[in-house]
Structure 1
Amino acid sequence: MRSQTLKLLYKISFKTKDNNPYNMLLFLLIIMSFSRAANSKSLLLLRRGASLSVEGDDFITSPDNSFTCGFYGMGSNAYWFAIWFTNSKDKTVVWIANRDMPVNSQGSRVSIRGDGTMVLTDVDGRIKWQTNTTSIDIAAAELLNTGNLVLKNPQGDILWQSFDVPTDTLLPSQILTKDKRLTSSSRKGSFESGYFNLYFGSDNVLSLIYDSPDTSSLYWPNPDFDVYTSGRTNYNGSRLAVLDDTGVIQSSDHFQASASDKGFGIKRRLTIDPDGNLRIYSLINSTGLWMTTWQAISQPCQVHGVCGTNGICVYALTPKCICTPGYEMNDPSDWNAGCKPTFNKTLLNSQVKFLEVSQTDYFGSDLYYKPNFTLEACRELCRSDSLCKGFTYRTWGNGHCYVKSDLFNGFMSPDFPGSVYIKLPRSVQLSKPSIFHGSSNMCESHEAEILVGSPSMYEIARRTVRWGYIYLFCLALGAIELLFIVLGWWFLFTKHGVPASVEAGYRMISNHFRRFNYAELKKATNNFKEELGRGGSGIVYKGVLADDRVVAVKRLGDVFQGQDEFWAEMTTIGKINHINLVRMYGFCSEGRHRLLVYEYVDNMSLDKHLFYVNFLGWKQRFAVALGTAKGLAYLHHECLEWVIHCDVKPENILLDIEFQPKIADFGLAKMSQRDSPGSEITRIRGTKGYMAPEWALNHPLTAKVDVYGYGVVVLEMIKGVKLSNWVVDDAEDQEIPLKNLRRQVKETGQCGNSSWVESIVDPRLKGKFSRIQAETLIQIGLACVEEDRSKRPTMASVVQTLMECEDETEI
């Protein structure tokens, strides 16, 4: 590139008609200027006595130009001495010298002093960071191809390296040792140190911990299990962890995991993010964007501290934080700061009440644990203890009582068999109980209405009145209760005194995934009257829930006789949330009745709008192709439960009111743990015509079976015909239509025929389609149906390719 520029300058200077002698001088000046500019931008070494200025354009780059080191600015007057990926789109930073002490945009510099110390100084000369080296033998600073900034002596020995002082990222070949830790940023878009850490604990196990000034809480590996149940060992004196060049992270406590795109030749990083999750990212060279290829925590609400003290993490579409009822955010812009009470804490020592929030718990902070305890006894235990902030009551067996000293990091989960009861002053006004899910209530039983420090009304009655008066008292009490009910309905429907944010937060809990009873769904579907469709896994009916939500209820057939299949589908879909996946609201399991409750999608399935008279236009088809790819990419790469759909076809792609796709029917989905024993899927049913060739060969199934099915769907959308209808009975002939199509594309495309795309695309569109998008989709579709699965692209790469031509709208 540089030589071409010089040739161009030469032509400009000498190939003119006037042949002016000053052109020679001009050419020399330009060469000198060009040389200075080129050299000022990139240094391979920063020698002792030299410096980099924040105002200058000098940077240290690795020999292969993968990494750059220099001043990195954010905002108008804040700079950091940092290392970043040169070719990533956002110049992703992997190491920072002064993460908590930015320097000024003028006068700041980094230099190697005569005593061998590398020093970062601010505008006033104050030292903001320095290396712990004092060897006069240091010759220069160099940035290696690994992203490691090193100080070397003249013999090339490394005397200091940035790999020994990591920030939030571990690069391939960088070793995390027992005396080092990765610390997250406090929030996205900030370099300031946060509260989440990856380190080796005192038990020698590689762990994730929330560590704030107020509290510490270990959350990975799962603290509910012992070390060995988690697949680790604490017989680990070396305490080393490393991410290798193939995308495998392993540590000396026997932990091992790998990126989904495992292999050489990909730039990767292991980062602990501001949300407390540990992830491996892979760089997509064509776009400079990052793709998540592994993460430690599959459910974000399992990260302790993600919503701070007195916060509750609710998984609704995406994880959301809300404050515990009776509390409000400390800092409206930062959930790490948690929530504070809206009441005077001293009121908890007098008249109190309890607010139940079902399927919710708080991590740790147990004052007491009482097994085989009644709810009433648990309530009294909390009521009588001034340190109690609430209690959790788990409803399996005979009941388990956990009295909480703090409400640190709550979470709502459909798998949690119990409720939390929040201790609040009697004077605090909150919304009425029916906005909570299921049987949640304000504990407004007679027992709960009795105020602490007040004599029992029943005690007074027994001591001072006759039986006749007791009957009259009961009648009066009934009238009062009726009045309370009426007032309760008035509060509910007028939402009297309830802040909109609190109301929205509580509704988020009440509408979450839950367990339905059979009678409830029978009523919702009008005794299963309106059938929407049927398939191998069961029949789907339309229904309306008590809260007026329109739903699709799948009544599972005999194919789901085993509990394992049923629970696999339920737990998988219930925890997955994506705009291009059908949302699951809950389930029912009573005796032989097993039903799944989904959101209702208005415009039926894709096949109804593709192979019939009312067919989709081109823009809608492309949107469906892109949305479907995004949904599958989420299943394969982002939700990281390694979900394989195994039955991708037009009938399982539903269209909402805006004709956006939502992938349905996860009845065949299985969980595939990568690189683990017994991960092969052995009991699979699919649809002929969309099944990848490896099915017939009994090979272990991977996400590439979904890629194959997606490819068939894409080609059907392009041609407007059902390719599976062409398939003959003999399974060996399944590929014939696809081979014919591939041959057609090859023959017409390579013969210079510019109309080859038109010969493939659905003639019903009458030429109204984007040629660029159509050609891209054809190539993607054919790549997806390659017989060799290793040649098929990943769904993440398909999404990226389609997004690059999303704006090509010429018709």
Structure 2
Amino acid sequence: MEILLIFKKKKKATGVVDLMVFEELYSSHYALHIGVAFIQQWQKFLSPGDAVAMRSQSYSSLSSTLFLIVISVCFSLASSRNPNILPRGSSLSVEHDSDLLISADNTFTCGFCSVGENAYCFSIWFTNSKEKTVAWMANRDKPVNGKGSRVSLQQDGAFVLKDVDGSTTWETNTSSTDVQKAELLDNGNLVLMDSSGKILWQSFDFPTDTLLPQQLFTKSKKLISKLRGGNYATGYFHFLFDNDNVLRLMYDGPDVSSVYWPNIDTNVFTNGRTNFNSTRIAILDDMGRFFSSDWMQFNASDSGSGIKRRLTMDHDGNLRLYSLNNGTGLWTVSWKAVMQQCLVHGLCGRNGMCIYAPEPKCSCPPGYEMDDPSNWNKGCKPRFTRSCSHSQQVRFVKIQHADFYGFDSSSLTNISLESCQTKCLEDCRCQAFGYKLSGDAKCYIKIELFNGHQSASFPSDIYLKLPLSIETSEPIVLNDTNRICNSSESTITIGASSSMYGAGGKRVRWVYLYSFASVIGAIEMLFIMSSWWLLFRRRDVHAVVEEGYRVISSQFMKFTYIELKKATKNFREELGQGASGAVFKGVLEDERVVAVKKLENAYQMEEVFRAEVSTIGKINHMNLVRMWGFCSESRHRLLVYEYVENKSLDKLLFAENILGWKERFKIALGSAKGLAYLHHECLEWVIHCDVKPENILLDGDFEPKISDFGLAKLSQRGRKNSEFSRIRGTKGYMAPEWALNLPITAKVDVYGYGVVILELVKGIRLSNWVEEDGEGQETELTRFVRVIKGKGQGEETAWIEDAVDTRLNGQFSRIQAAKMIEIGISCVEEDRNKRPTMDSIVQALMECEDVSRI
């Protein structure tokens, strides 16, 4: 206050005061705690005209004593500021090493990180790591100058990084918002907040190559590796949710893109994942446990609290979970995705090959040499000129236990080595061929050489197509290099953890260690997951996280026969009877009402049956009945489903009580969505095979839920001499190809759906037989289609009235009815190739969903 009085006296004497010193100090983080309040109090002594004058003039006679007092006050205030907060109007300079934000618990530091000679990136790093380990970068691909660059939280709310020339290198999208401060939180999240503490922007939404504990990983985010060990620029390896909702590792290089994890040789479910959950959310918790909506789960080998961790997409293409040793400041690996490093795609560039010698190294195959000795991303180049001329003589050089994944122009089975070689010779594009003798002999014609690797456990060989003039040593030895394929940034120690790939490698002595570690890790994970799940139910977390955890922790249970017998009161209340068995109502111990189906024709052994129903249990869609569990004991095979209130469609559609038109259209659209999910977004083999009103259940809101999907597989798999074509649906809803013993495709479901949608329109069973006008009989369906085709050729729409259920008394949408009839008739075409697909049916129905005219 004394300083303000002095300023007041000076103002009265001269009419001007120089504010430049205060503005400069206030813009520096040393004066952050002077605050807006101090400036506002000071400006109370000034008129608006004086303020303008003060900006345009300098008070040359301001005493040095007063100046020193002001500076002293500013620095004393700065010394007490919160080091993890940057107020609006402040900045951090690249030139001042002390211009930093440090989290309250000292775990993370935010500031400028050197990424090269006179090159800096605004970053967040772990404070106590021996090497400066970066967790996030704002401008990884556009470093700024080491002189004059600064990041500022501007008065308009934007957080802006400017280079020495004043050009904007990076900024947030928060201009014109009420941002009051930037704060570095204890979890490593840099946030911009308003005056009420609401987060308006956060670094957690824009990860680079690292995921930190409690940082949500969703469909819009990806981890992208840096380019090389010392180069922080964006690299080629990605960790992301793929289009099918599954977490994957992918190489996205200058020439090609290729997924390599989880195991590309098996399907989603064999890898322990599901692609039926479109939530796309994952999280790493503080205990070192990772959970995802695609059912990817793993534990750190040192699982427990109090350890700083990071999940990083490394520059060598492997995804690793690291734990920090606070004593040494070094990182150890507590989990990694790919156990055999050479399985990473794109690691050694075009024509390059990853080998174990014994550590993974990049090499060039015979006839090739490194394109750029300083950069393996560019791979190898041929030491010869490719030619399609018949005059060029070629030979084939064999590399044992090797492969170049992908780029097969053709794949041939049961073919001899000589024939495979001939195929390559006849194809000018062929650069090599792979030949696998184990099992059915297979031949792969390679037109490009990417993703090369060699491993003693690989079951096939590569034959390189080289000009006869190119000399190679015998036996074939790949050109050795010093390139190590795996990351060398930290001390790597693998603990007791499991991988999505099976343990393997060239050195046999590790097999036993990995096997033992995997078993111990699995047992530990079982106990940890059980205890964590119980604890988590009592936690009150953010709604989004809670929903994500709820989705990914849903359980598929195995029940005992005694449990289900008790739940159904000795199978007292029967809900229905079908070809696969009877359904009974039950109440579980947790008070869930369920429907229990006793299967009559499930022939599998227990482990096979369990594998089948576990796959079905992972299928999740609002228009499919949810399976909650099963029982497989002795001769008993039971399935436990959610209970659906309004029972099946046939009970309402063909009853005296009239089902309204809005409900009918809703059932038609929902059923189509459920089947489309099974056909187009689900496993290829999930064909229902018995679509009929009895298998379409209705909940309290008349939302349809298709039941009994997948049961065709349960009934026929494992049966002696069984063939899928022998399965039969229900008479009246069976496609013609059943009788013709043609291969069964999803079009059999389309046919059944066509009958159902026409029954929804007409309100009667179209599968019943009726007398023809002449001699003989025909089904109601045949006659209905024949009559409609005869009447519906012209522009008149009167035929619609005759086609729709008369009990509706004209209360229906003509547009929707016409569309449903059109779809139904196209679905029951005898030629299955003329039938539409279920996804096209959904699209057609949705186009008239909002039609309200009756």
TM-score by length of 1: 0.52
C-alpha distance 670-275 of structure 1, shift in aligned 2 (>3 A): same
C-alpha distance 336-643 of structure 1, shift in aligned 2 (>3 A): closer
Matched-pair contact (CA < 8 Å) for 2:366–2:479:
no
How is 1:172-191 mapped onto 2 (pairs within 5 angstroms)?
172-191=213-232
2:555 match: none
Q: CA deviation at 1:401?
A: 0.3
Q: CA deviation at 1:146?
A: 0.6
Q: CA deviation at 1:398?
A: 4.3
How is 1:293-692 mapped onto 2 (pairs within 5 angstroms)?
293-346=334-387, 350-431=392-473, 433-435=474-476, 504=480, 636=496, 670-676=516-522
C-alpha distance 375-505 of structure 1, shift in aligned 2 (>3 A): farther
Q: CA deviation at 1:412?
A: 0.7
Q: 2:330 aligns with which of 278, 285, 289?
A: 289
Matched-pair contact (CA < 8 Å) for 1:118–1:131:
yes
Q: 1:157 aligns with which of 198, 207, 211?
A: 198
Describe the SS at the equivalent of 1:159.
strand
C-alpha distance 338-352 of structure 1, shift in aligned 2 (>3 A): same
Q: 1:243 aligns with which of 262, 281, 284?
A: 284
Q: 1:103 aligns with which of 144, 161, 164?
A: 144
Unpaired segments of 5 or more residues in structure 1? 1-24, 437-501, 509-575, 579-629, 645-661, 681-811
Describe the SS at the equivalent of 1:163.
helix
Range with greater deviation from structure 2 (170-179 or 317-326): 317-326
What letter is aligned with 1:369? S
Q: CA deviation at 1:316?
A: 1.9
2:86 match: 46
2:187 match: 146
Deviations 1:719-764 (A, max 9, x none): xxxxxxxxxxxxxxxxxxxxxxxxxxxxxxxxxxxxxxxxxxxxxx
1:112 match: 153
Q: CA deviation at 1:678?
A: 10
Q: CA deviation at 1:393?
A: 0.4
Q: 2:259 aligns with which of 213, 218, 238?
A: 218
Q: Structure 2 CA distance, aligned partners of 1:429 and 1:303?
A: 30
Describe the SS at the equivalent of 2:228.
coil
Q: Structure 1 CA distance, aligned partners of 2:413 and 2:510?
A: 42
Q: Structure 1 CA distance, aligned partners of 2:106 and 2:228?
A: 29
C-alpha distance 286-33 of structure 1, shift in aligned 2 (>3 A): farther
What letter is aligned with 1:117? A
How is 1:687-706 mapped onto 2 (pairs within 5 angstroms)?
none
Describe the SS at the equivalent of 1:69.
strand
2:133 match: 92
Q: Structure 2 CA distance, aligned partners of 1:136 and 1:665?
A: 58
Describe the SS at the equivalent of 1:313.
strand
Q: CA deviation at 1:134?
A: 2.0
Q: Structure 2 CA distance, aligned partners of 1:382 and 1:376?
A: 10
Q: CA deviation at 1:638?
A: 11
1:536 match: none
C-alpha distance 109-325 of structure 1, shift in aligned 2 (>3 A): same
C-alpha distance 326-72 of structure 1, shift in aligned 2 (>3 A): same
Matched-pair contact (CA < 8 Å) for 2:135–2:209:
yes
Q: Structure 2 CA distance, aligned partners of 1:96 and 1:37?
A: 30
Describe the SS at the equivalent of 1:186.
strand
Deviations 1:534-562 (A, max 9, x none): xxxxxxxxxxxxxxxxxxxxxxxxxxxxx
C-alpha distance 38-155 of structure 1, shift in aligned 2 (>3 A): closer
C-alpha distance 435-238 of structure 1, shift in aligned 2 (>3 A): closer
Matched-pair contact (CA < 8 Å) for 2:299–2:525:
no
Deviations 1:630-681 (A, max 9, x none): 99x657579999999xxxxxxxxxxxxxxxxx9999699735345536999x
Q: CA deviation at 1:337?
A: 1.7
1:197 match: 238
C-alpha distance 678-140 of structure 1, shift in aligned 2 (>3 A): closer
What letter is aligned with 1:44? N
Matched-pair contact (CA < 8 Å) for 1:42–1:58:
no
Describe the SS at the equivalent of 1:391.
strand
Q: Structure 1 CA distance, aligned partners of 2:181 and 2:206?
A: 19
Matched-pair contact (CA < 8 Å) for 2:302–2:495:
no
Describe the SS at the equivalent of 2:387.
helix
C-alpha distance 250-390 of structure 1, shift in aligned 2 (>3 A): same
Describe the SS at the equivalent of 1:208.
strand
1:209 match: 250
Q: Structure 1 CA distance, aligned partners of 2:146 and 2:209?
A: 24
Q: Structure 1 CA distance, aligned partners of 2:227 and 2:122?
A: 18
Q: CA deviation at 1:345?
A: 2.1
Range with greater deviation from structure 2 (132-141 or 177-186): 132-141
Q: Structure 1 CA distance, aligned partners of 2:369 and 2:296?
A: 39
Matched-pair contact (CA < 8 Å) for 1:45–1:142:
yes
Residues 1:171 and 2:212 are matched in the alignment: yes
What letter is aligned with 2:522? S
1:234 match: 275
Unpaired segments of 5 or more residues in structure 2? 1-64, 527-854
Describe the SS at the equivalent of 1:373.
coil
Q: Structure 1 CA distance, aligned partners of 2:510 and 2:251?
A: 37
Q: CA deviation at 1:426?
A: 2.0
Q: Structure 2 CA distance, aligned partners of 1:678 and 1:283?
A: 21
Q: Structure 2 CA distance, aligned partners of 1:667 and 1:43?
A: 47
Q: CA deviation at 1:391?
A: 0.3
**Percent sequence identity over matched residues?**
50
Matched-pair contact (CA < 8 Å) for 1:643–1:670:
no
Q: Structure 2 CA distance, aligned partners of 1:283 and 1:642?
A: 26
Matched-pair contact (CA < 8 Å) for 1:348–1:424:
no
2:293 match: 252
What letter is aligned with 1:123? V
2:773 match: none
Q: Structure 1 CA distance, aligned partners of 2:366 and 2:419?
A: 23
Q: CA deviation at 1:40?
A: 10
Q: CA deviation at 1:71?
A: 0.7
Describe the SS at the equivalent of 1:670.
helix
What letter is aligned with 1:363? Y
Deviations 1:302-329 (A, max 9, x none): 1111111111111122101101221111
Q: CA deviation at 1:413?
A: 1.3
Q: Structure 1 CA distance, aligned partners of 2:452 and 2:511?
A: 32
Q: Which has the larger radius of gyration?
A: 2
Q: CA deviation at 1:83?
A: 0.3
Deviations 1:203-240 (A, max 9, x none): 10011000112101101111111000000000111101
2:632 match: none
Matched-pair contact (CA < 8 Å) for 1:641–1:672:
no
Q: 1:63 aligns with which of 104, 112, 137?
A: 104
C-alpha distance 141-64 of structure 1, shift in aligned 2 (>3 A): same
C-alpha distance 345-136 of structure 1, shift in aligned 2 (>3 A): same
Describe the SS at the equivalent of 1:376.
helix
Q: Structure 2 CA distance, aligned partners of 1:33 and 1:89?
A: 37
Describe the SS at the equivalent of 1:336.
helix
Describe the SS at the equivalent of 1:217.
strand
Matched-pair contact (CA < 8 Å) for 1:356–1:419:
yes
Describe the SS at the equivalent of 1:184.
strand
Q: CA deviation at 1:338?
A: 1.2
Describe the SS at the equivalent of 1:249.
strand
Residues 1:265 and 2:306 are matched in the alignment: yes
Over the aligned positions, Cα root-mean-square deviation in angstroms equals 3.5
Matched-pair contact (CA < 8 Å) for 2:308–2:323:
yes
Q: CA deviation at 1:44?
A: 2.1
Q: Structure 2 CA distance, aligned partners of 1:289 and 1:38?
A: 33
C-alpha distance 642-411 of structure 1, shift in aligned 2 (>3 A): closer
How is 1:784-795 mapped onto 2 (pairs within 5 angstroms)?
none
